[in-house]
Every structure is written in C-alpha cells, then in structure tokens.
Amino acid sequence: MVYIEIEAINNLDVLSEKEENNSILFHFIFKELNVRCIYFGNSKTMIIGFSGRNSAWNLNLSKGKISEFIPNEAYKLISDTLKEEGIYSNKDFFITLKDKIESLEGEDVDNVTENQIIEALRNTKTRDKKYDREGDKPFFHHWRRVRPSKESLNKIQRYFGDEIREECFKNKITAVWSEIPTSNSLDFLNPNIDVS
C-alpha cells in the first residue's frame, strides 16, 4: 500500500471541478511506459491505463491509500518495467504515480470526453478473478435491492467511491454490471447519484 497526502487528493478535486464531467486526464512516464490516468472527482477514483496498450484498471483514492494490486492482463503487459535487479515489484510504479499526483498543476491536466471514459472502461475488462469476479463486465447497468457481496462492494467502491459503497452496504443494494456500455454506464460521474 502506498499512502498519498490528502492535500494532493484535494488538489485533484480542485483541478477536476473545472472540467467537464468533473474528470481530468493526466500522463506520466514510468521507465518506457506512457501511463494515462483519468481521475473522477465525484467518486475520488481513477482509471490507470497505458498509451498503445488495451489494458487498464480502476483504483480508489478516497482514503489516501493506493493499492499496489494490478490485474493480470495489465501486469503481463508491463511486468518487464517492474523488474529491478531480477526482482519484480509494483512499488516503484505506484510511488511514481503518487509523486505525479502530488505535483500536478493545471497545465498538466486535460479534459476528458465521455467517449474517452467509455473506451478506458472497456480496457478494464479482466479475467483476473482475484481482482474482479465479474471482470468481463466493466460497465455499470443498474442498482438491485439485494445484500451486496464483499466482492460487489469492492467493485462499487472502485467505481463509485467510499460514500456510495457505504450507502449500498447500509441499504442492502448492489450493482448490476454489463459487458457493453449502457445509458447508465457513466452514472458514477454524477455527484447526486441515487442508489435506490
């Protein structure tokens, strides 16, 4: 686990408030990888992906912690860059991400369109069951009134953030996911989401 200053997350929020969908795109280089990140201010979550590679994953930043878990598909694509003196470690990648986030300024970020977000979500598809049992369904479809499993709550948290996760837990509501984009797929961009 890598810890990030809450002030840096607050700065991401300030930067994203100025943009469409309350979202920003920023890049950084890790070794030879061009890393693309989309931050969602309403949920304090992000998608991490790589230019020219069809792989990405979701990450929750709301508690000032960055999980070092990378789904298998993404890990296989970048594993060579994670090797240092014969030992594989994700830590340097996530420290570089943290440092980039903590140094972001307005000129470092771009606006993100809904189409770019849908494409990034499409790249989060995974067969890694440890990361997401329903990894082949990266698009939100609708809410269902049934007690959510721990795995479902984790996925809800990666997309919608901590507050919505807690509301779903408290009200026994889970999310239903889809393999293809739906009219509700970008509901996590809405600051006034109704979980009912």
Tens-digit pLDDT profile for residues 13-71: 999 998 988 999 999 999 989 999 999 999 999 999 998 888 999 999 988 889 889 99
- Chain-centroid distance of CA 37 in Å reads 8
Cβ-based burial of 85 (10 A; exposed 0-12, middle 13-18, buried ≥19): exposed
Cβ-based burial of 165 (10 A; exposed 0-12, middle 13-18, buried ≥19): buried
Residues 6+ apart with CB under 8 A from 96: 28, 30
Does the pLDDT of residue 196 top 80, yes or no?
A: no
Query: What ranges do the domains of the chain cover?
Result: 2-112
Tens-digit pLDDT profile for residues 65-93: 898 899 999 999 888 888 888 888 899 99
Strands 2-3 and 23-30: unpaired
User: Rounded CA gap, 140 and 83, in Å?
Assistant: 35
pTM here is 0.93
Q: Which amino acid is at 94?
A: F
User: Rounded CA gap, 56 and 138, in Å?
Assistant: 11
User: Rounded CA gap, 6 and 165, in Å?
Assistant: 20
The per-residue pLDDT for 53 is 85
The answer to whether residues 46 and 61 touch, using CB atoms and an 8 Å cutoff, is yes
| pLDDT (average), residues 1-6 | 90
Instruction: Return the closest-CA partner of residue 133 out of 157, 109, 149.
Output: 149
User: Rounded CA gap, 2 and 42, in Å?
Assistant: 22
Lookup: tokens for 71: 């789904």
